[in-house]
Amino acid sequence: MHRGTLVLLDESTGRVRTEAAVGLTSDEMERGKYALGEGITGNVVATGRPRIVADVRKEPDFLNRTGRFNPETDEGQTSFLCVPIKIEGRTAGALSVDKPFHSDEQLRSDYRFLDIVAAFLSQAIQINRMVMRQKEELLEENAQLRAQVRDRYRFENIIGDSPAMHEVFATVGQVANSRATVLLLGETGTGKEMIAKAIHYNSPRRDKPFVRVNCGAMTTTLLESELFGHVKGSFTGAIKDKIGRFEAADGGSIFLDEIGTMEPQLQVKLLRVLQERELERVGDTQTLKVDVRVIAATNVDLQEEVARDNFREDLFYRLNVVSIYLPPLRNRREDIPRLIDFFLDKYNSINGRTLRRISREMLNILLRYPWPGNVRELENAIERAVVLSGGEDFNEDLLPLSVRMFAAQRRTNQASESIETLTRRLSDQAIADYELREGEIYQLVIDQIERALIDRALAKCGGVKTKAADFLGINRNTLNKKVKDLGIEAAE
């Protein structure tokens, strides 16, 4: 074979172009373009039938567009064979070769061979196109997911109307477009990871990776390998090279959660990354440059840890370029109703439930509860309620035990306060009204309290004394005597 060419049909333009070749320069390949039906190649693609030419010098359809045949240098008779490449019954392209002519029998043998090769090529091209389609679909899906994530972490989509959260958003908006290191402070469950993602997805690095590492969930050795990577054989179990999270986040952002738990030996390596923007894998001597924005988070007082020599002072100041404090949920109670609505919508949709109606009393419980676990605890409580619900009404039984105990204690405290208030009012009134009846004030106040209590019990029990006595937990005869002495009207 002198030269060989693979051409494919571009269905978007309806033209045939040279995709690969042997024995042709890039300029010659560029010239190898045909309309359907044009020349031998275009005719084979258009008809789906092979063409075998014993002598190209005698074939008027041979256009020699690529300049592959040179009469001055190509000695002897040159034959040309072109066979179609078919995929699912449709001609997708053609395979052609030119070679010195030996005999008609050899030409037929060469044709049979090329036909077999074309069949293999059709399978390869089909697989390649399937892979390309899947890749394009994945890229499109990835782009859509990135767009969804960016939309989700837009500032206006993060729930928070309280003054404290407005201050957080203002700082995040200023710092997002910079490359400054950010330190997020706040209790567990206040949403530090969400704010870290908001910083990343509203920054110029939004299309690059966002990598999260929980520094408190791994041993020192494992965390070092996770952050900086390792080379094969650097320690027991290192059976192959591994890139670290900093390398994986190159060009993007890395979120170091629970940074306060990091051991001093790792703090030194992290400090080098922040200062020099370079690192070495565990067991390696090669220095790697990285461009990563660091966002760290902690729920401990790092300044106090510095004072105790548990955290390096120089690292603290490197991390504390911009610090953002996330307030606990108990300090932003005005955000609770919107958070409840958001979590109800989310978990109703996930679980196919319709939990919607929340009474004022129930909302007051949720507003008054201190939420020591912050937004995360509230989300878990709403998810639990939705999963256990059987209708639209949000009742107290759906709440976690800690919230139910808080509600019960609050009612007890309110009852105690009401009795104290009532007693104070009645005693003050009795002293004012009956100041001339010294020695009778105690009994007058007790009578008023008993009358109010029995009236409420009878009203609740439909005026039936038997039920009212059971409700109050006193003997029926005692109740009868009280009703008679106090002049209260009641049914039997």
So what's the pLDDT on residue 132? 87
So what's the pLDDT on residue 361? 87
CATH topology of domain 434-486: Arc Repressor Mutant, subunit A (1.10.10)
CATH topology of domain 160-327: Rossmann fold (3.40.50)
DSSP letters, 214-267, are EGGGS-HHHHHHHHH-B-TTSSTT--S-B--HHHHTTTSEEEEETGGG--HHHH
SS3 (DSSP) at 393: strand
With a CB cutoff of 8 Å and minimum separation 6, the contacts of 168 are: 160, 195, 324, 325, 326, 327
Report if pTM > 0.95: no
Per-residue pLDDT tens, the chain, 492 aa: give them.
888 999 998 887 888 888 899 888 888 888 888 888 888 888 899 999 999 888 888 888 888 777 767 666 666 788 889 999 998 888 899 999 988 888 889 999 999 999 999 999 998 988 888 888 888 888 777 767 766 665 666 666 788 888 888 899 889 989 999 999 999 999 999 999 999 999 999 999 988 999 999 999 888 889 999 999 998 888 877 788 899 999 999 999 999 999 999 998 899 999 999 999 999 998 888 899 999 999 999 999 999 999 999 999 999 999 999 999 999 999 999 999 999 999 999 999 999 999 988 988 889 899 999 999 999 999 999 999 999 998 999 988 899 999 988 888 877 766 555 656 666 666 666 566 555 455 666 776 677 778 778 887 887 787 788 888 888 888 888 888 888 877 776 665
What are the sequence ranges of the domains in the chain? 3-131, 160-327, 330-405, 434-486
So what's the pLDDT on residue 436? 45
So what's the pLDDT on residue 425? 65
So what's the pLDDT on residue 437? 54
CA gap 474, 275 in Å, rounded: 78
So what's the pLDDT on residue 335? 92
**330-405 sits in which CATH class?**
mainly alpha
CA gap 492, 482 in Å, rounded: 14
So what's the pLDDT on residue 421? 67
Distance in Å from the first CA to the final CA of the chain: 118
Give 265's Cβ-side CA count (13 Å radius): 8
Task: Note whether 197 and 153 are within 8 A (CB).
Answer: yes
Task: Note whether 272 and 318 are within 8 A (CB).
Answer: no
CATH topology of domain 3-131: Beta-Lactamase (3.30.450)
